[in-house]
Amino acid sequence: MIIVADNLTITHPDVSDAIAARNPEPIRALVMACVDAGAGAIDINPGPLTKNASEIMTFLVETVQAATAKPILLDTTSAEGVAAGLSAAKNRVIINGFSLEPQKCENILPLARQFDVDIIGYVLRPDSSVPTDEAEFYEITLSLLEAAQKAGVSHERLIIDPVVAPLIWENGAAHNRALLSFLHRLDDLAGTRLRRIAGLSNLSAGPAPKRKKQLLQRAFLPMMASAGLDMVLMDVFQKGGMATARACGLITGEKIFSWAAID
């Protein structure tokens, strides 16, 4: 399982300040710390980029690339921002991402073909709400595959994100159980191996102590790993979570087991 750092996000004040000041130093330091902590890729999340989209994404991609050669994920709803990031990128890039929302299918999805890169497809309804049962996860995934095919993007380029729901939502737990079952059966459904990614922090969204949030995440991550998750987007500074992720790799057979491989 590749661990993608979710730490470079506009919601962290240090990051938003650095972006506002176009100050690369705190971002470089953050990225190097992420890699040090075990990140295999860096998600760049500057928010929706309603203005200066090209300039900000170019600044971020160049700054991240000055710190690491690891793959980068372009995590914004701005097609202009994604395109600028793709143009500036030398590292491997994944577009994060598109959904059945018409604006995203029309403006973001075609960039995956144009730049010949991987793209994440969110298992969300066209209005961005989450599906409630397993059958709907399948239907939406088929629609994502169809949309990708129409845009000339092959299923090998697609990475499915089933979108973890907050447990505090009324249907959150039921949604996440359907999600796990969906992940387990996805290959049978699709008749081929589709890669999958999920963001872990959403599980514990809401006001609660960090300790409780991390405990939930550490319990849910092995469930998703065992269901065949290829990449997880998470806080790489969460030591317990990172140790759990590595332990999962030993159990799922990604790495040969040895006691020395355990933190």
Residues interacting with its own copies, by CB under 8 A?
167-168, 172-174, 176-177, 180, 184, 206, 208, 212, 215-216, 218-223, 225-227, 243-244, 247-248, 250-253, 257, 259, 262-263
Report the residue number, 104 or 175, with the smaller CB distance to its own copies.
175
CA angle, 83 then 196 then 164, to 5° = 95
Report the residue number, 69 or 208, with the smaller CB distance to its own copies.
208
- In whole angstroms, give the CA distance from residue 158 to residue 104: 14
Report the residue number, 111 or 179, with the smaller CB distance to its own copies.
179
Report the residue number, 193 or 212, with the smaller CB distance to its own copies.
212
Partners of residue 233 on adjacent β-strands: 4, 199
Specify whether the CB–CB gap between 18 and 24 falls below 8 A: yes
Q: To the nearest whole angstrom, how small is the minimum distance from the Cβ of residue 161 to its own copies?
A: 19
Q: What is the dihedral of CA 110, 115, 120, 126, to 10 degrees?
A: -10
Q: To the nearest whole angstrom, how small is the minimum distance from the Cβ of residue 252 to its own copies?
A: 7
Q: To the nearest whole angstrom, how small is the minimum distance from the Cβ of residue 168 to its own copies?
A: 7
Q: To the nearest whole angstrom, how small is the minimum distance from the Cβ of residue 261 to its own copies?
A: 9
Q: To the nearest whole angstrom, how small is the minimum distance from the Cβ of residue 206 to its own copies?
A: 8
Report the residue number, 227 or 236, with the smaller CB distance to its own copies.
227
53-67 vs 79-88: helix crossing angle, rounded to 10: 40
Report the candidate in 161, 95, 94 with the shortest Cα–Cα distance to residue 130: 161
